[in-house]
Amino acid sequence: MKLLKMHCLTIEEACLKLLSNKLDRFSVEDSRREILEELRKKVESCRKCPLWRTRKNPVFGEGPVDAEIMLIGLGPGYHENIEGRPFVGAAGKFLDKLLKLAGLDRSEVYITNVMKCYLPENKASEDEIEACTPYLDKQIEVIQPRIIVALGNVATEYLFKKFGLKRQSMGKIHGKIYRVSSLILQAEIIPMYHPASALRNPPLRSVLMEDWRRLGEHLREKSR
Ligand code: URA
Ligand code: SF4
């Protein structure tokens, strides 16, 4: 009888623990959502660099707040500026194909950019990058992705610098996995050519496709 009672208590305790773990998980997710919403509001009214003048809609980023994979591009183009969402133009269509090659769906990854406002000339100055990247830093810190795919040179350079990795040409590092471990994040950074670069330079298309296929293999190995 005594034994049975002890057993019951243990189950009760286990149930309580399970419940509190579940609640913890929900509260972590809720607080992530809250912090990101606050940050989104700051971006919407941000005037820290001159790019606010030409933006129609800032592009904060989108995806699950607990996404394991985060993609970081350069910044909004014409279509993104109109819709306020990342990668909705031609490069975005190609990105969807690349995600599929890795066995991923857009809905399961978090997608954002180094720059949050429209880049009329598809480039950002050092000062503009410095002004805007605290938003990206916070997104990384809150979401805690296990894998960050850096799309193109600017995102790659920014992340390599942030995590103290040696800068090298994209030709050398694309598709490779760089493990970083700091107080704020433990993750793998994978630099890739930007999807738009394959639209401008068709031979890059097969390079990109192969890198994304291999990313899919890596993800499957990791989940085993
Ligand atoms: N190119 C980018 O780098 N980001 C976008 O969101 C769209 C195109
Ligand atoms: Fe602010 Fe970034 Fe937009 Fe510049 S690009 S105004 S720093 S949100």
Is position 19 within any domain?
Answer: no
**pLDDT score, position 14:** 58
155 pLDDT higher than 90 = yes
Average pLDDT on 168-181 reads 98
For range 27-45, the mean pLDDT: 96
Q: Provide the domain limits for residue 130.
A: 29-223
pTM of model > 0.95: no
Residue 2: the pLDDT is 47
Distance 81 CA to ligand 2 centre (A): 13
The answer to whether residue 16 is domain-embedded is no
Residue 201 lies in a domain: yes
Q: Residues 8-17: what's their mean pLDDT?
A: 61
On whether residue 80 sits in a domain, the answer given is: yes
- Supply φ then ψ for residue 136, to 5 degrees: -65, -45
User: Does ligand 2 have an atom closer than 6 angstroms to the CB of 58?
Assistant: yes
The three-class DSSP label of residue 149 is strand
Residue 9 domain-assigned (yes or no)? no
Query: Which pLDDT band, with edges at 50, 70 and 90, does 8 fall under?
Result: low
Let me know if residue 190 belongs to a domain: yes
Supply the CATH number for residue 205's domain: 3.40.470.10
Q: pLDDT at position 1, please?
A: 46
* Residue 62 forms part of a structural domain: yes
Is 3 part of any domain? Answer: no
Q: Which of 25-39, 84-98, 169-183 has the lowest mean pLDDT?
A: 25-39
Distance 95 CA to ligand 1 centre (A): 10
**What residues are in contact with ligand 1 under a 6 Å CB criterion?**
59, 73-77, 80, 86-87, 91, 113, 196
**Number of structural domains in the chain:** 1
148 alpha carbon – ligand 2 mean position (Å): 22
Band of residue 113 on the pLDDT scale cut at 50, 70, 90: very high
